[in-house]
Amino acid sequence: MKREFAVIGLGRFGGSICRELSKEGMEVLAIDSTEAKVNEYRNIASHAVIADATDEKVLKELGIRNIDHVIVAIGEDIQASILTTLMLKELGIKKITVKAQNDYHEKVLTKIGADQVIHPERDMGKKIAHSIISSNILDHLELSDDHSIVEIKAGKKIVGKTLIALDIRANYGCNVVAIKSMASNDINVSPMATEEIKEGDTLVIIGADKDISRFEKQLV
């Protein structure tokens, strides 16, 4: 079944969300206040309309109430982003995702009830910084200020060893939650203690940043 989404603001970020959702076959209502942007998405989204999202009447007329998930990707105009989010919340939208410009913006959005606040530039910057520091870290997902999930390329020191032999949990306080195998192009999401790490494997590890870093420095 197709799910319904609305994307408000068709800049680089909102535009990319709109494109991907549409590519995946989702119903997308694309909204922007500028005609040029809307024209760009006419053939991509299911519907594309020129509208000022800060106008409550317009939002109601667009039937936004019937949409499951609205993504607010209004860029620079923080006031418009906050006002739009507030109105969507009052209209009872089930899920609202908003792009924040800075930490203060994020705080306000969380306070007024945005379900998900994203900070793409900051988050991408962090990911890239981690992969620059260590070429073994392929991906990094921040869970809190000091906990993460990372994908680490298995190095020489651990290839051929089993999880039980490495005893990562006891020695490093981290958990291996999955092993991606390059050879079989598969992912094992519940690796056994007897699982042997092979050349080309990627370990998906959850833990405190300091423990992950220790593991990575000593073993990978």
- Give contact residues for ligand ADP (rule: CB under 6 A): 8-14, 31-34, 37, 52-54, 73-77, 80
C-alpha angle 170-172-174 in degrees, rounded to nearest 5: 90
User: Nearest distance from residue 142's CB to ligand ADP, in Å?
Assistant: 21
CB 10 → ligand ADP: shortest distance, Å?
Answer: 5
Q: What span, in angstroms and rounded, lies between the C-alpha atoms of 42 and 137?
A: 39
For 134-178, the DSSP string reads -TTEEEEEESSSSEEEEEEE--TTTTT-BHHHHTHHHHHS-EEEE
CB 207 → ligand ADP: shortest distance, Å? 33
Output 10 or 118, the one with its CB closest to ligand ADP.
Answer: 10
Q: Which residues pair with 89 in a beta bridge?
A: none
Closer to ligand ADP at the Cβ: 56 or 77?
77
Nearer to ligand ADP, 38 or 179 (CB): 38
CA distance linking residue 74 with residue 12, whole number of Å: 10
Q: At closest approach, how far in Å is the CB of 76 from ligand ADP?
A: 5
- The residue with its CB nearest to ligand ADP is 75
